[in-house]
Structure 1
């Protein structure tokens, strides 16, 4: 028995010696391996970081370009229904009892306060303001003794204003943004419709009720323009004499259309409008601009035409500071413009 144990023990000792003969990496070998890995991986990591940064920059530029073009298209579609567009004089002059020297500056936001554009906003400047016809599908519910209830479409007048806004509101970017404000008329009643009144602002008018039996009154503050104003001469004086309903403050929100608009100061930059030819006359449109380069317009009142200029700011998507426009970073500031003539027409003697 002892001999058997000795034999097994000797075999185990030999196997242990054989295993111990398998050596691992030395410390120097490990250090050399780490150094080689560092030399190979560091350039690769730098290359990957550069690719990711470039991709992020390109995505920011692409997003700005798409949004700027979409905003221009939206404004163009809006302007196509315009019947009258206000010039710079109207937007920078307060209302007056004398039509020849009257404007609408104190009748619209921010002077006449509205949610999203009021006196507490650092910058909220009207750049494009016009009257348009707004299409309302199925706005009038019609009843018939022989058929089921049906609905009819109609149009109402609306006052639309586009604003350039720059403030400290953290909901939006540190760049500027464009907001849209609109107030619309109610649906005036016709014979055969269910009617109601919108007192006290419109005691002499009747408005229809919709399918829910709700009177479709004008928006708060809305007042129709008066083309029969005897004291005013010509269409411009009549439209510039428009006043909002004094007894009802605006409740409509100035809703943001697009963010990341270039907030670079106009400063000493000279803006100009191309001449406009309508019929046999050539005129220079009225330039309407705020403090910043991102949004300005050229308005030809006589021809109901406006040219809109937008410039985005993709750098504001990537940085929290130092994102003003310069000749070295101009690729991050996509631009777009469109010239639109309103399809509507107003006639005033």
Structure 2
């Protein structure tokens, strides 16, 4: 076979390439592919972002609901130990002394927790007030133990000054607890529309010193109901001398609220929520006149995000010991709002209601019902 020359082979290769040209994409095809790919990628990214937002909103809502439930459990636990709970009529009152009438606990509390705002103004609103029994500070328990031989008033009518007036035998003292709503937000510390705070007026400080403004509720007019007045109309918060002639170590301005009072929970809904109404107090199925009715606290229907309905916390004519010989009962309502949390716009309305009913275990002056 004759050998082919190089020019002939080159020409043959060129003819073969023309018959089978190299494949590829045109510029228009590339642009269309990029455009379609961009749409698909954008759609996927949007879906992922929306999914993350929904997940964040649900997490914020669940977290707020969990915090509200914890706050409700805490309040319920305290109410079960309460000795006396005030209803709405005795929470506010007239502020003055009168027989068979409540002067109103809020009239004798620090101004910082009782500004009573109107409309949309920021402020504080007391909602629930009750007395509970607390142990003495440890420093006083130690002092009582060191002076155990001097506690018998029969043999020693003048006990040492450090334990004079201190309930060393029971080692227990009454404390006034007030839960209130606060819509002020100095410095922008809080993100919720309102927060629930707790104020406590104890007989002694942690160091054992008397707290000014404290009054033993068992010595006031009609016991707890007339606090802080004696039956004679004497205001025991400011009186320098008690009815027995002894010096009042608690006379003076009521112990104020700390600079940063404890916040039980944030993200409570606005106290006066537009378009929201308060749930009615529970109805009664008891015989008329055998038990006092539930009374809303605070009175009226303006506060809808946190309020209570209290049985036996005010003056009720014809009912022995105001509760018919039974324990006090309190229904508590709390509305949370996740607006302002991560993933939830501050203008949103992500609300949920919680409610519970608590039977107090206090037995002060409670006479059993006839069998």
Mark yes or no: TM-score above 0.5: yes
Is contact 2:331–2:358 with CA below 8 Å preserved after alignment? yes
**Which residue of 2 is the match for residue 223 of structure 1?**
215
> Within the alignment, does 1:294 sit opposite 2:305 as a pair?
yes
List runs of 5+ in structure 1 lacking aligned partners: 1-21, 145-151, 188-213, 325-331
Is contact 1:90–1:104 with CA below 8 Å preserved after alignment? yes
Is contact 1:113–1:250 with CA below 8 Å preserved after alignment? no
Given candidates 301, 304, 314, the residue that maps to 2:338 is 314
Is contact 1:99–1:237 with CA below 8 Å preserved after alignment? no
Counterpart CA distance in 2 for 1:36 and 1:323 is 36
Greater strand content:
1
CA distance 1:221–1:235, change in 2 (3 Å):
closer
Given candidates 259, 262, 280, the residue that maps to 1:272 is 280
**Aligned runs of 1:82-231 on 2, under 5 Å?**
82-101=82-101, 102-108=103-109, 112-114=110-112, 118=115, 122-136=122-136, 138=138, 140-141=141-142, 142-143=145-146, 154-169=171-186, 170-186=188-204, 216-225=208-217, 227-229=218-220
CA distance 1:341–1:137, change in 2 (3 Å):
farther
Deviations 1:172-218 (A, max 9, x none): 1251111110011129xxxxxxxxxxxxxxxxxxxxxxxxxx95023
Is contact 2:193–2:267 with CA below 8 Å preserved after alignment? yes
Query: Per the alignment, in what secondary structure is the counterpart of residue 213 of structure 2?
Result: coil
Deviations 1:32-59 (A, max 9, x none): 3421321221211121012101101110
Per the TM alignment, residue 157 of structure 1 is displaced from its structure 2 partner at its CA by 1.1
Counterpart CA distance in 2 for 1:304 and 1:266 is 32
List runs of 5+ in structure 2 lacking aligned partners: 1-21, 148-168, 230-234, 239-250, 314-322
Counterpart CA distance in 2 for 1:348 and 1:73 is 26
TM-score normalised by L of structure 1: 0.69
TM-score normalised by L of structure 2: 0.65
> Within the alignment, does 1:238 sit opposite 2:226 as a pair?
yes
Per the TM alignment, residue 249 of structure 1 is displaced from its structure 2 partner at its CA by 4.2
**Aligned runs of 1:28-39 on 2, under 5 Å?**
28=28, 30-39=30-39
How many residues align? The count is 282
Deviations 1:16-46 (A, max 9, x none): xxxxxx9997644542342132122121112
Query: Per the alignment, in what secondary structure is the counterpart of residue 93 of structure 2?
Result: coil
Deviations 1:283-318 (A, max 9, x none): 321112474421010011223221111111023324
